[in-house]
Structure 1
Amino acid sequence: MKTLLKIILTALAVVVLAKILPGVTVIDYTTAIIVAIVISLLNMFIRPLLVFFTLPATILTLGLFLFVINAIIILLADNLVDGFEVSGFFTALLFSVLLSFFRTILFSIFKDKNQIKN
């Protein structure tokens, strides 16, 4: 249930960001849910590989290269999902930063009360 809630909240953040950012387009809510699932899967499987292979660049830039990896994940989601478009790299970079920010806020609002006690 917690995973489903996170996917729905991520889809909500994707829709809001598509309305705010001029270079991001999502055609409907179903596409936003698919984008949320694809981003979650890419973060689960592809992101660790990218982090591992770019570890020297990440260390050299003191972790700032992780923003580039997040933008690459967004561009991969753009290529995989029809109905979701990001106009370029810098738009994907801004989208990924804002998506992380919105997800953090939304997840903290809906945090499980049992986690607070522990």
Structure 2
Amino acid sequence: MKRQFATFLLRWILNSVGIWVAVRLLGNGNSGATSAWTFMMAGLIFSLVNSTLKPIVTIFALPAILLTLGLFTLVVNGLMVYVSLALAPGISMTFAHSIVAGIILSLVNYIIGSALVLQREEKEQYVN
């Protein structure tokens, strides 16, 4: 349970940083005065939406994902970013920019996942 909570906290923090980077690069001009707490809230919302809503949307989008050989997952990731930022107060982004932000956040989550797997393998190696 501790490991799962620590993983969630790490994803939350790094998703917040990823959203900050994406908004700074791609966001509308009105989000220049947002605070760190706004991005932390957006990161929390994104983490929750990503863990609860994304599996359901992915199942419904499975025919399109299969037809496009997986490229439609970029649209699903963009939709998750768009929904998250629509729920977050003070941050806005167009859907096209949300798709690019989804790519950025997917890379962040991939790096986190890879680092956690490597860390887990190192611990198992020392135990054996």
TM-score by length of 2: 0.77
Query: What's 1:6 paired with?
Result: 11
Distance in 2 (CA, whole Å) between partners of 1:2 and 1:38 is 16
Distance in 2 (CA, whole Å) between partners of 1:103 and 1:65 is 18
Match of 1:68 among 75, 79, 86: 75
> Pairwise mapping of residues 51-90 of structure 1 onto structure 2 (< 5 A)?
51-86=58-93, 88-90=94-96
Provide Cα deviations, 1:26-70, integer angstroms capped at 9, x if missing partner. 711111111111111111111111111121111111111111111
User: Partner amino acid for 2:60?
Assistant: F
Unaligned runs of 5+ in 1: none
- Indicate conservation of the 8 Å contact 2:78/2:99, yes or no: yes
Distance in 2 (CA, whole Å) between partners of 1:112 and 1:13 is 20
- Higher share of residues assigned helix: 2
> Pairwise mapping of residues 91-106 of structure 1 onto structure 2 (< 5 A)?
91-105=97-111
Q: Choose 1 or 2 for highest CA Rg.
A: 2
Distance in 1 (CA, whole Å) between partners of 2:117 and 2:55 is 27
CA displacement at 1:108 relative to structure 2:
6.4
Runs of 4+ in 1 over 6 A off after TM superposition: none
CA displacement at 1:89 relative to structure 2:
1.7
Count of aligned positions: 116
Unaligned runs of 5+ in 2: 1-5
User: Partner amino acid for 2:80?
Assistant: I
Query: What's 2:3 paired with?
Result: none
Task: Indicate the SS of the match to 2:92.
Answer: strand
User: Partner amino acid for 1:36?
Assistant: G
Distance in 2 (CA, whole Å) between partners of 1:20 and 1:6 is 21
User: Partner amino acid for 1:3?
Assistant: F
